[in-house]
Amino acid sequence: MRLRDALAGGWRPEPRPALIALASTEELYAQATAQVFQFGGGDASGILGEPGPDSAPGGWHQVDEGTVYMTSSRFACQLARQFANIPYTAIADAYCDEDGVCIWQHGRAPVKFQLVDPEWHFVLFRWLAYREPRVLKAG
């Protein structure tokens, strides 16, 4: 709530020093240790490779873990099994639940980043991607 209110009031976060390679116009704003889950069959290739099964039964399955960086244009995921970039422009929909930030990419299975303080990260994502300070939660 405080981050959302601060952004709505005009405050802007400062970029942080980057531990990953960035494009010349890109800035890093946050990083977090995360467990990465995929909805459906739990095929880790659904993050970056061929689309995973987005309608398979079984709910969320852990597919990887590592560090998720939030830049001005993407989620950069330095994971145990892969390095994945998820540009904000590739995200069709997103929401915050009690333990993570859930995103739907165009042509990929839904992914959840389970991390500490998911609402804070979701608010920052909405500001970075859409310059929107409000929180949208699933009902």
Give 32-84 pLDDT, tens digit per residue. Answer: 999 999 887 666 665 654 555 545 567 888 889 999 999 999 999 999 999 99
For residue 111, pLDDT over 70 is answered with yes
- Enumerate the domain spans of the chain: 2-9+26-130
Q: What share of the chain is helix, strand, coil (3-state, %, to 5)?
A: 20, 40, 40
Top-confidence residue, 124 or 8: 124
Q: What is the pLDDT of residue 130?
A: 92
Mention the CATH class of domain 2-9+26-130: mainly beta
Residue 48: CB atoms within 10 A of its CB come to: 15
9 token code pair: 């009031």
Place of tokens 């998720």: 68
**pLDDT at site 109:** 80
Do the beta carbons of residue 74 and residue 85 sit within 8 Å? yes
Enter the pTM of the model. Answer: 0.84
Task: Output the average pLDDT for the chain.
Answer: 85
Task: Give percent of the chain with pLDDT exceeding 90.
Answer: 57
Report the pLDDT averaged over residues 96-106. Answer: 92
